[in-house]
Structure 1
Amino acid sequence: MTDFRTSIEETYGMRIREIRRVKDVFRIRTPQGTYCLKGYDVQAEDVFYIARVFACLNDRRFTRSPKVYPTTAHSPIMVHQGSVYMLTNWVHGRQPDFGTTTDLRKGLRALARFHTAAEGFPAGEAPASRIRYFDLEKDVSDYKNLLGYYENTGHLVPPCEEVIHWLREPAVLAAITAEQQASAFIHGDYNYPNLIKDKRGKLHLIDFENSSLHVRMKDLSHILHRNFTWNASGMLRAVEYYQRHRQLSAPDLSLLHALLSAPYPVVRSIKIGGIQSAARVIPSPARFMQYRKELGALLATS
C-alpha cells in the first residue's frame, strides 16, 4: 500500500491523509477534499472512453455524474503496476431504496435527465467494442439459446423469436437509427446499486463500466425489468412518470415495448446464479402471456 500511496501522490501532486478501500474503490482524504480512486479491469482505451463520457456530460451541464481529476501530466487515467485507475470526486451518501415510491421516482427522474444529456458523443472517440446500437438482435438471440438449454424455460424461447422479429420492424429500426444519429450513450447498469443519494436527497450516478454508445431505452428497460418484474401495470406507470421529464417518440415506445417483451429477468438470474437461482423469476406460460398482453398498452400510447 505504501508504494501505491506514493504513486498516487506523485501522479496527482497531492498529499494523502488517509486512503481506505471501500468495496471496489479507494476513498482518498486530502487537505483539499475527498476523492474516489477506482481501478478498472478493462483496456486503457475503454477507461479513456468512460472519461470522455464524463466530459461530455459535464459539457452538457449534467451535474450528477463523476468529475474526473487529471494527473499532473493532464491524463484522465493513472497506471500502476499494469492496472488502470481514474480519480473522481467522492459523493457522500448512501444507496437509494427503490422499494419506496419516493426513491424509485427520483431514480426515474434522474434517468430521464441523464438521458436528456446523454447524446452528442464525439464521433470517432469510442472504441469499436463500445459501439452497440445494433447489438440488440444478437442479445436476444443469446437469450433464446440460453433459455432453450433448460426444460423449465423452453416456453420463453418463442417469445424471444417474436422479439427478434419486432426488432426488425421499421418503427424499431427508426428508433435505433435515430439514437445512432444522435450519438446517444447509456449508463449500462442503471439501478440503485449504482446510484448515491446525497444529504440533500439528490441522486448521483456512479460505476459507468458498462457504458456504451447504445439506445437509451436499454437503460430504461433495465430499471423496469429489475423493479417491476412481470408487473406490466407498474412498468406503464413508471414510463408515464419518466415521460414527465423526457418525452419519448412513438418509435422509442415501440423499441421499449420490444425490450420489455424479452424475458431478460430470467436470463440475468441464470447468468448470475444458475437455473436454480432463476426459479423465483421464471413465469408460468399463463403469467408471461398475461404480462405480454398488458404490456401491449405501451404501444397504444405511442
Structure 2
Amino acid sequence: MSTTNVKKIVKQFGIKASAQKRIRGGIYRIVTPEGRKFCLKRMTKQIARLRWIDRMLMHVQRSGPLLAWRNPQNPEGRKPHAISQKGEFFVLTPWISGREPSPLSLTDMRACGIALARFHKAGQNALKGDISHSQIGMWYSTLHSRQQYIQKKIAKAKTNSFSLPISRFIQRHGPEILRYANQAKALLRSSGYESYRQSPRKNGVLCHGDGGPSNFILNENGTYLIDFETLHVDLRAYDLYRVIYNSCKDYRWDFSIAKAILDGYREVAKLKKTDYKLIRVWLRFPFTTYLVLSPFKRFPFTESRLQWALDSERRITSFLHKLEEYETRH
C-alpha cells in the first residue's frame, strides 16, 4: 500500500503520520510529529466480528490485563476502526515498545503463562454467557478435515504427482504421519472433551488463538498480549497448546519451556486433568507436517522441510510423556 494511502487511513483516526514503516503485510508502524508511535493493522474480518473483538477487548482491558488495543479515553482511540479505499478494515493500536520473550529464558516463558491466565480470567468475565464466535464444538471436525487434507497429499504422492524425492518421502512416511493423526483423534475421544463441549458457557474462555513468543511483548510495565485477529471463544487448553507449540517447535521440544509456561499459568489459575488431556490432543496431531504440506509460505514444500517436520513429530512423543508426568505431579 502506498505511503499516501496509509496516511489517509491514519488520518481517519485523527492523527497525522510524519513517518511510517511497513513491518509486514498489512502492518505499519506509525510515528506522529510529536514522536508518538502506533501500530496500524489490517483486520481481515467482517464488521460484525470486528465489533465483537473490540467489545471483548475493551472489557478485558478494564479488568487489568495488558493489551495492545485502543484506549477510548484518548482522541485517537475513540474510533474503533477505519476503512481503506479498497474497503479493508484497519485498527490503530498503541505501539508497545519492548522485546519479544525468548523461549531460552524460562523467566520469560513463565511471564507468558501468567499473562495468558490473566487474559483468560478477565475474558470469562467479558463473555458473561456470550459464546459468539465459538470453536468449542469444532475440534472433531477441525482434526478430521486436516487429516483428510494430509490423506489427499499422500494419495497424490502415490501417483508421483510431486517431485520424485518428495513423492517417495511421503509414500515412505505417510503411514506414520497418519498414525499420529489417528492418535490425536483417539486422545480426543477419551479426554473428557464431550463434557466440556456440552457446557460451553461454563468452560469457554476468550481465546487469543495464536499465542507464542511473537505475540507477547515484555517491558518495564509487564507482559503485553498483541495481535488479536484470531480472537474467538474456545477452551483454554487450545490457547495453552498454541503458546506451547509456538514456543517449543523451534527448540527441539525442550520440555522445560512448556513447564515454565504451565508453571506461570498455574500461578493464576488451576488446571484440571481434562485440560492437560486436551493440550495433548493438539500436540499429538502432526500439525507441523500439515503446515509443510499446505501452501504456507513460511514452510516451503521440500523434502528437507518434510524431514524436519517428521523429526519434530517424533520428538513430541517423548514430550507428551513428560507432559503426562507433569500432570501427575500437579
Structure 1 residues 68 and 38 mapped into 2: Cα distance closer, same or farther (>3 Å)? farther
Could you say what secondary structure the match of 2:41 adopts?
A: strand
State the partner residue of 2:160: none
TM-score (norm 1): 0.82
> 1 CA distance for matches of 2:23 and 2:248?
30
Query: Structure 1 stretches of 5 or more lacking a match?
Result: none
Rounded to whole Å, the distance in 2 between the matches of 1:65 and 1:141 is 34
Distance in 2 separating the partners of 1:259 and 1:285: 12
Instruction: Label 1:135 to 1:99 Cα distance change in 2 as closer, same or farther (>3 A).
Output: same
**Given the alignment of the two structures, is residue 300 of structure 1 paired with residue 290 of structure 2, yes or no?**
no
- Where do 1:126-141 residues align within 5 Å? 126=132, 130-141=133-144
The residue that corresponds to 2:161 in the other structure is: none
Aligned-residue RMSD, C-alpha: 3.2
The C-alpha deviation readout for 1:13-37, integer Å capped at 9, x for no partner, is: 3344434433322413254833222
Structure 2, unpaired ranges of 5+:
155-169
Q: Distance in 1 between matches of 2:115 and 2:54?
A: 20
Which fold has the larger relative contact order, with Cα–Cα distance below 8 Å and residues 6 or more apart in sequence? 2
Matched, 1:173 2:194: yes
Q: TM-score, normalised by structure 2?
A: 0.76
Q: CA deviation at 1:169?
A: 3.7
How far off is 1:123 after superposition? 5.3
Aligned 1:1-302 pairs, distance under 5 A = 1-2=3-4, 4-6=6-8, 8-9=10-11, 11-23=12-24, 24-31=27-34, 33-69=36-72, 75-81=79-85, 82-119=87-124, 120-121=126-127, 126=132, 130-148=133-151, 149=154, 150-151=170-171, 152-169=173-190, 171-198=192-219, 200=220, 202-229=222-249, 231=253, 233-234=255-256, 235-236=258-259, 238-271=261-294, 272=296, 273=299, 274=301, 276=303, 277-283=305-311, 289-297=317-325, 300-301=328-329
Q: Which one-letter code corresponds to 2:187 in the other structure?
A: W
User: Do the aligned residues in 1 keep the contact of 2:43 with 2:89 (CA within 8 Å)?
Assistant: yes
Distance 1:17 1:179, change over 3 A: same
Cα distance change, pair 163–107 in 1 and its aligned pair in 2 (3 A): same
User: What is the letter of the counterpart of residue 121 of structure 1?
Assistant: L
SS at match of 2:205: coil
Distance 1:102 1:252 in 2: 23
Q: What is the aligned residue count? A: 297
Helix, strand or coil at the partner of 1:214: strand
Tell me how far apart the structure 2 counterparts of residues 61 and 132 of structure 1 sit (CA, whole Å).
26
- The percentage of aligned residue pairs carrying the same residue is 18
Cα distance change, pair 266–241 in 1 and its aligned pair in 2 (3 A): farther
Going from structure 1 to structure 2, the CA distance change for 1:26 and 1:263 (only over 3 Å counts) comes to: same
